[in-house]
Structure 1
Amino acid sequence: RANRFHAPHLQLLHDGLAGPHRRSRRLAAAVVEEDSCEFGSMKYYALCGLGGVLSCGLTHTAVVPLDLIKCRMQVDPQKYKGIFNGFSVTLTEDGVRGLAKGWAPTFIVYSMQELCKFGFYEVFKVFYSDIFGEENTYL
C-alpha cells in the first residue's frame, strides 16, 4: 500500500541521536477494522447521536458552575461582585455541591438536543439526497 502507516508494527527512529549511535524502537499500533461502521446504518446514526451527547451534553454540563455564578451576578450584583467573589460566596454558603445546582436539567436538555441534531441531520441528509436524486458525494 502507499500508506506507510497501514502496518500494525511501525519502525521509528530515535530523533535525539545521530550517526551510528541511532537507536530504533518498535511500537505496536492498533489495527482498525475497515468500514467498522457502515454509512447509513442504524449503528452509524446512533454513533452520530452519541457524538452529539458527548460533545455538547458533557461540555455544557461542565460549564454549569460558571453559568450559575454569572446568573447570580446578574440577579444580585451587590452580593456577587465578580466571578471569583461569586465562587467564594457560593462555596461559603452552599459548599462544593452548591456549584453544581442545575447540572441534571442542563445535561438532559443539551444531550437530547444534540442527540437529535447530530443524529437526525445524517438521516435527513441521506433522505433528501435520495428524494432529489443527488449522488452520495458526501461519502
Structure 2
Amino acid sequence: MYTSPMFAGLNGSAPAKFPVQAPLEGLKKPTGVDLYARFALAGAIGCAVTHGAMTPVDVVKTRIQLQPEIYNRGMVAGFRQVIAKEGSGALLTGFGPTAAGYFLQGALKFGGYEFWKKTIIDNLGYETAQRNRGSVYLVASAIAEFFADIALCPLEATRIRLVSEPTFANGLLGGFARIAKEEGVKGFYSGFGPILFKQIPYTMAKFAVFEVALEQLVGLTGKPKDQLSPGTLTSLNLGGGVIAGLAAAFISQPADTLLSKINKTRALPGETTTSRLMKISSELGVRGLFGGMTARFFMIGTLTAGQFGLYGSIKSALGATGGIELAKVE
C-alpha cells in the first residue's frame, strides 16, 4: 500500500516485471570488419607498448651489431658503454619510429593473422584445417606479415639511421623528412628485402610456436580453454609467448643483423640490394651474423610474451572473442 499521492495509482496493481541482465549480457558480439578492427587495435597496442618499452635493449643490440669492435663485452656492458659515452637519454634513441612503426605493424600483423587464418579455414573446411593447423598458422602469419612490413619498413629504416648515427636528426619527424628529401622512397625501402627475410620467418615461428605451445599448456591444466579464469589465460599467454619469442629470435637473427647493416649506409653507385647482402654476409661470417644474440633473446622473449599477454587481455576487454580456434580438443 502506497500512502504518497504520487504513487497512489499503483495501489492494487501487479508489480512491474523488469528483466535483469549482467552489464554485458545481451550485447551482440562483434563480427566482420568490427571484429577484425578490434583484433587490429589489440595487436597495435600490444606491439607499440612492448617494442617501445624495449627501445633501450634494441639500442644496445643494434650497437653490438653495427660496431662489434667497440661493443664486444655483452649486453650489460653495452648499456654501460652507451650511458658513459652519450648519456642515459641515448638509450631512448629511435623511440618515436619504434612505437609508431610497430603500432602499424602490430595492427596489420595480429588483425591480418586472424583474418587470413579464417579465410584459409573457410576455404579448406574446418576439419581439414584442424588436421593441418600447423600449415594454416604458418601461411596465415606469412601473408599477414608481408603487408605489415610494407607499413613498418620506412619507420624501421628511420629508427636504425637514428640509432646508428646519433647526429642524423633530432627524432622521428626530422629523420623521416631527411631520408625522404635526400634519398626518396628508395631510402625507406632499401631494407625491404632484408626486413621480409627477417620478419616473415620470425612471425611464422612466433605464431606457429605460440599456438602449439598454448595448446599444450592449456592441455596441462586439464580444462577446456573457455573454462579457464582470465588470470590463468594471461599466464598461459605469457608462457607461450616466451617460448615462441625465443624460437623466433634465433630463426630471424641473421636477417636482423643484415637489416641493421644495410640501413646504416647508402648503397654505392650500381650496387644492388642482393649484392650488398652477399657482401655484408661474407664480411661478417656466421659468428658476426649472430652478433647481439643474447640481447635479442632477452628482448624478443620478453616482448613476445608481453605482446601475447596484452593481446589476449585487450581482445577480451574489447569483446573480440570471435576468432576461430584450431587447437585440438581431447
1:138 aligns with 2:324: yes
> Is residue 101 of structure 2 the alignment partner of residue 109 of structure 1?
yes
Residue matched to 2:44: 53
2:76 corresponding residue in structure 1: 84
Task: Return the offset for 1:35.
Answer: 5.7
- The 8 Å contact of residues 44 and 102 in structure 2, kept in 1 or not, is answered as yes
Q: Which runs of 5+ in 2 are unaligned?
A: 1-21, 127-321, 326-330
Corresponding pairs, count: 109
Which digits, 9 at most, give the CA deviation of each residue in 1:62-109, with x for residues without a partner? 222112112212222342222112111211222222001112222222
Classify 1:40/1:99 alpha carbon distance in 2 versus 1 (closer, same or farther; 3 Å): same
Sequence identity of aligned pairs in percent? Answer: 31
Question: 2:143 corresponds to which residue?
Answer: none
TM-score, normalising length: structure 1: 0.59
Aligned-partner residue type, residue 82 of structure 2: T
Deviations 1:23-74 (A, max 9, x none): xxxxxxxx54036462315442222111101222221222221121122122
Structure 1: gaps of 5 or more residues: 1-30
Partner residue, 1:73:
64
What residue in structure 1 maps to residue 30 of structure 2?
Answer: 39
Task: Give the root-mean-square deviation of aligned CA atoms.
Answer: 3.2
Q: CA deviation at 1:125?
A: 5.5
How far, CA to CA, are the matches of 2:25 and 2:116 in structure 1? 25
1:62 aligns with 2:64: no
Q: Is the 1:52–1:115 contact (alpha carbons within 8 Å) kept by the matching residues of 2? A: yes
Cα 1:123–1:73 change in 2 (3 A) is closer
Matched, 1:95 2:281: no
User: Contact (CA 8 Å) 1:37, 1:43: kept in 2 or not?
Assistant: no
- Runs of 4+ aligned residues of structure 1 deviating over 3 Å after TM superposition are 120-134, 136-139
**Structure 1 residues 105-139: Cα deviation after superposition (integer angstroms, max 9, x where no partner):** 222222212211222444455667677898x9939
Residues in 2 aligned to 1:54 and 1:114: alpha-carbon distance in whole angstroms: 7
Q: Select the structure that is richer in strand.
A: 1
Q: 1:128 to 1:88 in 2, by over 3 A?
A: closer
Instruction: Please name the residue that 2:111 is paired with.
Output: 119
C-alpha distance in structure 1 between counterparts of 2:116 and 2:40, whole Å: 13
Tell me how far apart the structure 2 counterparts of residues 99 and 54 of structure 1 sit (CA, whole Å): 22
